[in-house]
Amino acid sequence: MRLKYLLLLAALLLLAGCQKEPAIVTDSMTPTNSESAIVSDSTAITTETDLPVYSETVAETQSPETDPTEATVMTEATQAPTETLSSQTEPTEAKPTDPPKPTEPKPTDPKPTDPPKPTEPKPTEPKPTDPPKPSEPAHVHSYKSTVVAPTCTAKGYTEHKCSCGDSYKDSYTDALGHSMTEQTVAATCTAGGYTQRTCSRCGATEKTNTTAALGHEYKDTVVPPTTTSEGYTEHKCSRCGDSYRDNYTPKIKETFDIQAVMDYGNAYAQSLGFTIDYSLNMNNSGYYPGYNGGGYSLDFLKREAKDIVQYTYDSLLSFEETIDGFRGRVLVTYNSETDKYRIVFLYG
């Protein structure tokens, strides 16, 4: 039993040395090679009666930082059943471990810091102050009143205005309203009718009772063509006189009495000494180029016939001393396609 407690104490001391300092095992704690060896009296082994003291020693040697597994080992060791000395193995001597070397802190060289620069106060220049202005006397309003008369749409009032700009209005009167006179405007062909109301005071106007325009009432008149103007149909409104024309027709070609032209020319030729012969034609007689153009009037054609007879007479006298024995007549033709007349004097 004592050998068992001795081994347990050695284990506890070994564990305490691992946590703090290496445990030193004395010779008295070393068991003998023989299982039946007797422990020396000089060894500090307590008796069975010292077990309570031993339990307190074990409690005191346990560090608060002891690993939970170590505490478990100690508990199991205390609760182990008693065994005979012959079943215990010989404990091994624990080797002392070197204590950890303390780490020396490295000295740090402090960097010198520049002393703060003294701040120089800036002198402040006093600003010149304006001299105090003399106090002005309090303004007293002096209003000038203006009466504004009412109109048809705006009220009248009296306006009071001071020279400083302050103003106010009072003495309001009601607006007069319009004074209307009515005039009825009848509808026309192109414009509707209405009643116009005009204010005799301000000139404002308004229209009421409007009606639609009447529209034109045209009457048609057909104008036939003449020899000098075209024909057309005239449409004229019986209400307002508006008119317009359409359906134009070309003017009529005037045909003059060519027999009257020939009779006039032959009478003049006979007066000059020609013998009138109606058997003369363009194939059996001579002639000078005559007139070939429009028939502007009967008198125009007669003048042309007389001029041609005179021209022929003058030409024949230039070759002959007399025209005695000459026959002649005036011939007039009309071409309806070209509306032209041809006048010649035949002689032979």
pLDDT tens-digit readout, 164-183: 989 999 999 999 899 999 98
262 and 240 inside one domain: no
Beta strands in the chain (DSSP E): 143-148, 156-162, 167-173, 180-185, 194-199, 205-208, 218-223, 231-237, 243-249, 275-276, 286-287, 291-293, 327-335, 340-347
Q: How confident is the model at residue 116 (pLDDT cuts 50, 70, 90)?
A: low
343 and 263 inside one domain: yes
* Segment 247-263 mean pLDDT: 90
282 and 329 inside one domain: yes
pLDDT digits (tens, 9 = 90+) for 312-324: 999 998 887 788 8
Dihedral of the CA atoms 42, 45, 50, 52 (nearest 10)?
150
Look up residue 338 and give its DSSP letter: T
Greater pLDDT, 205 or 78: 205
Residue 228: predicted pLDDT: 82
In a domain, 59, yes or no: yes
In a domain, 27, yes or no: yes
Residue 5: predicted pLDDT: 77
45 and 14 inside one domain: yes
In a domain, 64, yes or no: yes
Residue 62: predicted pLDDT: 40
332 and 263 inside one domain: yes
* Segment 231-240 mean pLDDT: 95
Check pLDDT > 90 for residue 210: yes
In a domain, 134, yes or no: no
Instruction: State the average pLDDT for the chain.
Output: 76
pLDDT digits (tens, 9 = 90+) for 283-298: 999 998 899 998 889 9
Q: How confident is the model at residue 217 (pLDDT cuts 50, 70, 90)?
A: very high
The count of other CB atoms within 10 Å of the CB of residue 221 is: 12
Check pLDDT > 50 for residue 44: no
Q: Which of 71, 87, 103 is the last residue of a domain?
A: 87
Backbone torsions φ then ψ of 190, nearest 5 degrees: -115, -15
In a domain, 207, yes or no: no
242 and 312 inside one domain: no
Q: How confident is the model at residue 38 (pLDDT cuts 50, 70, 90)?
A: very low
Domain extent, residue 148, equals: 143-173
Q: Which of 87, 115, 135 is the last residue of a domain?
A: 87
Q: How confident is the model at residue 43 (pLDDT cuts 50, 70, 90)?
A: very low
Q: How confident is the model at residue 115 (pLDDT cuts 50, 70, 90)?
A: low
Check pLDDT > 60 for residue 47: no
Query: How many structural domains compose the chain?
Result: 4
45 and 75 inside one domain: yes
231 and 276 inside one domain: no
45 and 68 inside one domain: yes
Check pLDDT > 80 for residue 75: no
297 and 339 inside one domain: yes
* Lowest mean pLDDT, pick from 15-24, 37-46, 243-252, 262-271: 37-46
* Lowest mean pLDDT, pick from 26-30, 208-212, 233-237: 26-30
| CB 250, CB 230: distance < 8 Å | yes
161 and 235 inside one domain: no
In a domain, 34, yes or no: yes
In a domain, 102, yes or no: no
Greater pLDDT, 164 or 80: 164
Greater pLDDT, 243 or 296: 243
Residue 53: predicted pLDDT: 38
Q: Which of 20, 55, 87 is the last residue of a domain?
A: 87
Greater pLDDT, 3 or 161: 161
Write down the pTM of the prediction. 0.34
Check pLDDT > 60 for residue 162: yes
In a domain, 196, yes or no: no
**237 strand-pairing partners:** 218
**159 strand-pairing partners:** 146, 169
* Segment 134-162 mean pLDDT: 91
Residue 167: predicted pLDDT: 94
- Strand-strand pairing, 275-276 and 286-287: unpaired
Residue 252: predicted pLDDT: 82
Check pLDDT > 80 for residue 282: yes
79 and 9 inside one domain: yes
50: left (phi over 0), alpha (psi -120 to 50) or beta: alpha
